[in-house]
Structure 1
Amino acid sequence: MITPEQIQATMARYIQLVDACDIDGIVALYAEDARVEDPIGTPPHVGRAAVEHFYREGLGRAQARARQTGPVSASHAGSGAVPFCVDLQMDGRACSIQVIDVMEFDEQGLIRSMKAYWGQANLVAREDA
């Protein structure tokens, strides 16, 4: 089973890859049968191909940057959560979103489920763009 330290490292790496807009690197962290719900409550993207499409069409076009805003909380049961902020362009405007991602990992240490907790209340316009 994946250790809490491995979860912490993988989730921190995920945010680094989001910051770099490294879609190939992000997708490589996911299991073949992964499920992504971003934000929670929207239809899930199921399977690595669907996850890749989601990141390429969203993150890849949004000029996103990301930074971790708190520690990764990891369990001995193969799950973790991390708060972070994503700065991006949405509808031509500079915005920031405060997000908490919750991930579950498989036995190989790949992400099998990611749920992003954020909504309209976590989205703010930025004037620095």
Structure 2
Amino acid sequence: MPTQEHMKAVLQAYIDGFNAGDPAAVSGLFADDAVIEDPVGQPQIQGRAAIDEFYVNAIGSGAKLSLDAPIRGSHGTSAAMAFTVDVPAMGLRIRAIDVMTFGEDGKVTRMEAFWGPDDMEQ
């Protein structure tokens, strides 16, 4: 089972890789068969090729992420973070909470992004 320290470090690496403009660093945190639901309630993204494409597009938009609070662990195999996504080119700000679930190998197997229409502002 992944440790709290490992899970928190992966979530920080997600933020750092995203803000460094490195989609390969971000998608590399995920298992090959991982599932992303961003936002929850929308169609899922699954598998290496789809995850790679998702992060190339997301990072290519010029979005930047900033933590709103410390990354949180759990007594299980998940960790969460509250953060803000700023997309200057679109004049858009989204406040989100991501919950990531980890496999035995320490890779992310599932990411759920919680944000809705009320969490977006122009």
What is aligned with 1:93? Answer: 90
> Can you give the 5+ residue segments of structure 2 that lack an aligned partner in the other structure?
none
TM-score of the two chains, using structure 2 as the length reference: 0.94
Between the two proteins, what is the percent identity of the paired residues?
36
Give 1:63's aligned residue. 62
Please name the residue that 2:120 is paired with.
123
Residue 2 of structure 2 is matched in structure 1 by 2
| Matched residue, 2:102 | 105
Aligned to 2:45: 45
Q: Offset of 1:22 from its aligned partner?
A: 1.1
Q: Deviations over 1:48-104 (max 9, x none)?
A: 1111111222x1331111111111111131101100111014xx5311111100000
**Large movers: runs of 4+ above 2 Å:** none
3-state secondary structure, aligned to 2:25: helix
Gaps of at least 5 residues in structure 1 are none
Scaled by the length of structure 1, the TM-score of the pair is 0.89
Let me know the Cα RMSD of the aligned residues. Answer: 1.2
Q: Is the 1:98–1:123 contact (alpha carbons within 8 Å) kept by the matching residues of 2? A: yes
C-alpha distance in 2 between matches for 1:116 and 1:17? 17
Q: How many residues align structurally?
A: 122
